[in-house]
Chain A
Amino acid sequence: MSTYREMEESITMAPVERLESDDQEQELLTLNMGPHHPATHGVLRLLVTLDGEVVRDLKPIIGYVHTGIEKTAEDKSYWKAIPVVERMDYLAYYFNAYAFCGATETLLGVDVPPRAQYLRVIHMELNRIMSHLVWLGTSALDLGAMSMFWYCFRERETILDLFEQSSGQRMHTRYFQVGGVIEDIPHGFEEKLRQFTALMPKRVGQYRDLLHRNEIVLQRLRGVCPLSEEKLLELGITGPLLRAAGNPWDLRKAMPYCSYGDFDFKIPVGTQGDNYDRYAVRMAEMEQSVRIIDQAMDGLPEGPFITTDRKVALPPRHELATSMEALIHHFKLVTEGFRVPPGEVYFPIESPRGELGCFVRSDGSSKPARVHMRDPSFVNLQATAPMTEGSYIADLIATLAMLDPVLGGIDR
């Protein structure tokens, strides 16, 4: 046994019974997949016990990109913690930021102006489409469809351009602030957004033409690795995976936050809970997100884009020249940050992968005493073993793709 294996002695390699067969000699093979494998969607390591080509047992080993973000956030004032938590699930940065800001706003008891809520909805739904596009591109790649990847990244590029226009950054934008958003959308944003929302449903239609009745896709996904709704609920699985099994649980509808109650949209659900349903649910979700964006843009209320509570939000730039109090508060907010009353809050939202909950504990100072993200990928990863046991190793790759784990969120 190598020293490296000794360090991981507690990981039992093959706790499965060998299957007895009459004539042929069979042997179980334990295969290490990852952490550097293009099909593991990040630095995920899987110890797979194989019986021929059939998966008998699977153990995910994680922690390779653990960077201690939760610990780091404890050392930063609330507004400085936003860029840190955004980097957890790196495909859903608006959601991370919103979960954290939402928890902080609840602790503070600050009301977010309607315009800010609508702007948040627009950006979160754009982010959802973007995240699903990355999922679709990379998953298709895992199934051997190269060109899908380029098509998906073409549309993703448009979304990133929109993010750049509104916040100056393409990824990890720090656009959401406690109390609202950092700046109003600029001129030209709406026009570009409308172009995108007009185009995107057509693009989804084109993806459908390529994939929906594609013989290879059907054979690789239909009926592969299903898991019942009951089992999913037991494992705490949320998001598209649960909806694919027929449970229409979506926090945007069930417990509306951020004025999601104002919009008319549908929750796509599957019937079988197999890989094909998981794929189809996410495809339909992209269309629904476009609908929400259009409605939010149509009904975008006038008014401030961040709370007028000067104890929390920075005063407008022009006030600094004329108002002593504004100058003092600006200085205090930037140097020390705002203080948050003591308390503990768990703030759950619907991220592209399921329930993303942010727990924040405040001890009354200007730094959070504890920040914890209940990341959906971290919990959903537990479904890999029950989903793939007894299936082929090629289907394991497809299932992992349909699970859509983001390792930045798992390891944090």
Chain B
Amino acid sequence: MPDATGLELLAQDLREADAESVLDTLHFRDRGTLIVHPPAIRATLLRLRAKGYRALMSVHGVDYYPEEPRLGVHYELLDMSALDRLTVKLRVHTDAPVVESVTPDWPTADHQEREVYDMFGVVFEGHHDLRRILMPEDYEGHPQRRDFPVGGEPILFTFNEAQGTAYTQ
């Protein structure tokens, strides 16, 4: 984990390449986090890859409801030779949740970006096959969002089917 100083230096390097790219840094429980301007995500991750963070271990989504911008996408980077981890985060609004896909650089993000799209509705531009992965294809809504109720899933009981009634809550 980069220490607080190392993290600032890293952020400084990234800002030199693109002044807008890094919005903030965060050092929490010995783990470094960079908060990145959403349009700069792909370029920033590539710059970090050149610095040794060659493995992208996880991509996951978060809903910060009721805070705005609501939707977050987190990238967990790993440097296998320096044994170092770094988290890169970005936040987008729900009305235009578009993020550039990193799958051309990191094929591992394929399934994970699809999951974030499925669960949170973040659209990854440039993903070659962006469709739902865990929920059915014809499913409506994004179930991991915080305003999506638990138990909001309509259930068709055999009883209702026999009765000719529709889905029940």
Contact = CB atoms under 8 A, between A and B. Distances in A.
B107 interface: yes
A382 B108 CA distance: 8
B153 to A, nearest CB: 8
B83 A254 contact: yes
B58 A382 contact: no
A379 interface: yes
B51 interface: no
Contacts of A106: 29
Nearest to A355: B57
Interface residues of A, number: 45
Interface in A62-101: 62-63, 66, 68, 70-72, 74-75
Interface in A385-412: 411-412
Contacts of A359: 58, 60, 74
B50 interface: no
B76 interface: yes
A20 interface: no
Nearest to A378: B111
Given A235-B107, A236-B57, A346-B87, A249 B80 contact: yes
Contacts of B106: 234, 236
A374 B76 CA distance: 10
Contacts of A374: 57-58, 60, 76, 112
A361 B26 CA distance: 15
A322 interface: no
A234 B58 CA distance: 13
B137 interface: yes
A370 B54 CA distance: 27
Given A249-B80, A382-B107, A236 B55 contact: yes
Contacts of A382: 107-108, 110-111
Contacts of B140: none
B108 A72 contact: no
Contacts of A72: 150
B10 interface: no
Interface string B41-74: 0000000000000111110111100000000001
A179 B28 CA distance: 20
Contacts of B80: 249, 254
A314 to B, nearest CB: 24
Contacts of A31: none
Name the 3 nearest CB pairs between A and B, nearest first: A236-B108, A374-B58, A63-B134
Interface of A: 7-11, 62-63, 66, 68, 70-72, 74-75, 106-107, 109, 233-238, 249, 254-255, 343-346, 348, 355, 357, 359, 361, 369-370, 372, 374, 378-379, 381-382, 411-412
29 contacts: A8-B137, A9-B137, A10-B131, A63-B133, A63-B135, A66-B135, A68-B150, A70-B144, A72-B150, A75-B150, A234-B108, A235-B107, A236-B55, A236-B56, A255-B83, A343-B29, A344-B33, A345-B31, A346-B31, A348-B57, A348-B76, A357-B58, A359-B58, A372-B61, A374-B76, A378-B115, A379-B108, A382-B108, A382-B110
